[in-house]
Amino acid sequence: MAETGESASRPISPHLSVYRPLINMVMSILHRITGIALYFGTLLLAAWLVAAAGGQAQFELVNAFFAHPFGKLVLFGYSWALLHHMLGGLRHFVWDTGRGFSIGQVNALSWFTIIGSVVLTLVLWMLGLTLRGEL
């Protein structure tokens, strides 16, 4: 360990950046990111409920934000994060029972999470917009 000049080129402990992204790894990271988004997104729910309790003027102010295209985009993202985190949680429930750990099953469950969350979000918004007559 005396040859200090070589220390820079010695391998260091591998971390996330050295791995080719795999679907279960990406889903694991997304589960945490959506969890963080949902955490701060509860401010939206709180704003909506407190405004509704506060009276018509406050309610209409908050509703105007949610009706604005930017507000709608935020809500769209929030609904996807919610559904994605929920499907990810169901995946963890499967794993909690000790099942679904073969590589094929892990990959299938991971793909199911991302495809399922996107499809569910689109269906939800199509339903919602159709009910409102906006689609």
| 60 in contact with other proteins (CB under 8 A) | yes
| 101 in contact with other proteins (CB under 8 A) | no
Token pair, residue 23, equals: 């679907």
| 132 in contact with other proteins (CB under 8 A) | yes
Question: Are 121 and 130 in contact, with CB atoms under 8 Å apart?
Answer: no
How far apart, in whole angstroms, are the C-alpha atoms of residue 118 and residue 114? Answer: 6
| 6 in contact with other proteins (CB under 8 A) | no
Sign of CA dihedral 114, 117, 119, 122: negative
List of residues contacting other proteins (CB under 8 A): 32, 35-36, 38-39, 42-43, 45-46, 49-50, 52-54, 56, 59-60, 67, 79, 82, 86, 89-90, 92-93, 96, 124, 127-128, 131-132
